[in-house]
Structure 1
Amino acid sequence: MDQAACCEHVRRALAEDIGQGDATSNALIPSDALSNGLIVSRQPLTVAGLPLAQTAFHEICPKLKITSLSMDGDTLESGKPLMQVEGATRAILSSERTALNYLQRLSGIATLTNRFFQEIAGTKARLLDTRKTTPGWRMLEKYAVARGGGHNHRMGLHDMVLIKDNHLAALHNEPNPIATAINRARNEHPKLKIEIEADTPEQALAAIEAGADIVLLDNMKPDVIRKIVRANGRRSRLEASGGVTLDNIRGIAETGVDFISVGALTHSAAAVDIALDFQ
């Protein structure tokens, strides 16, 4: 993760939460009070977000002593410690919610990603995320996917060409929209990978013949995917996407596809239960 961007993200989050000041902690807690807090898991999870949590605490009080008791990417059982925070009580209380928000959200993504990752263990398929991320959180959520065992697809519209159904629909007057789209993209962006979405086996084979680097097989059944894998002959790399669940991802992976992309990794991951308890 970009450290400067992460620090700025945390500063905005703290400003949103604290505003003009922590009215409760400032009213109740003496300024010289000290505490020792332990951040613990309350369910099995895969950890992500510890650097952001530490940044949140240190933005409020650089003198807080932070001890990491786990690492991002670790899989923990319920009741296991993630981090210890020692120092000014007011500072810990004022930054607690922001730190936990990062940990709960990002660990939730890492945890779900790891469940999908474990389902395809032993196959050649790589698990990919998508652009279906929370606005302003893409860098962080894709980081969490990587900590859970997944791989990042394109970061945005700028670093890879992905020709989707609406792009092809806009080229409906062309005699061969698929070949036209791939050729135009290749001429305009010769250094970028060219991927194209196929809704049917016929579109997939046309994209392979036209020289696409990657063909996305959208919402296709495993038996259909398997036939396209055989016909492809390793000319293009193949990605399965659409309707992928924990129940069916293994069968999709066993077709021989190179990638499986799952939007749910970021758009449907539930936050996990993590708490900070004073000792």
Structure 2
Amino acid sequence: MTAVRNVHERVIEAPAAAVGALLDRLSAADDPIFPTPAWPRMRLDGPLAVGADGGHGRIRYHVTAYEPGRRVRFDTPPDGGLDGYHELTVAPLGAERCRVRHVLECEVRGLLRLQWACVIRHIHDTMVEEIFDNIERAAAGGVARPVRWSPWVRLLHRLGWARPRAIAIPAAAQLVRTSLDRPDYEDAYRMELLPGMPRDPAAWTPILRDAFPVLAQAGGELLLDVNTAGLTARASILVDEHDVTLSTVVRADSLRARLYWAVVKRVHPFMARAMLRRTHRALALAAPSAGERNRAATGRASATGSPDAP
């Protein structure tokens, strides 16, 4: 068993009340500080309050202490191999400055000791510093020295990025569902949309590296003509409130097309998943940070004179 104590802190040039108000929005739909979409979003089974359960990615925890605007503590379940807590606090340093502090204390057992040393600690340190960056962006107007990912963190991020799951072509994908009569093959793969990722299906066309013609667009769905080697094929990119889905339908109308498809269909599922995953990660990394999104939303609200402006 290994005892771990990990501490990060930063002085923010903003009042403690302003930073505390950001802290109170952790896990909300408009969470201004948790570093998503670059990392999995924080989810709780209810509002931020003592007793709420949730986590981010594979990390699970529950809220055991909450002082609005000042402190929140999350305890990790011992059955996960990482028994302890992490805590985020805001303390004033005068009228216009404050200190934000994150403390992780835990006992690490078994193989998790190696995982902590080689993987978890590097990701944890980067994410905490990104939380601090977002606090500065949202409360102080910008961050002078944003955290930079090490090559190791970049590799871990690439390897750990979520993978598409296979589903039936969704009912909402009407364009692709009605695009071919009697298709010989169809599939669909889906990934979750994270906050800040584009909702316009046209932004997702890099999934398909070639510039395929767009046949139609309606209801958040983009239909593309992906005919090749005699195959009649259509691809659909559907973006809804929660997910992005890549669907494909194929019909082989000739002997040449059937022979070609007999080979290609063995690698098609792998390629479709890989292309969707690659584009999903690229768009997540290119998206504005939570702090930038908060600043933009605050600016729009100020311009209209309404805090509820869209």
Same fold at TM > 0.5: no
TM-score in terms of structure 1 length = 0.29
Structure possessing the higher relative contact order (Cα contacts under 8 Å, 6 or more residues apart)? 1
TM-score in terms of structure 2 length = 0.26
Structure number with the higher strand fraction is 2
Structure number with the higher helix fraction is 1
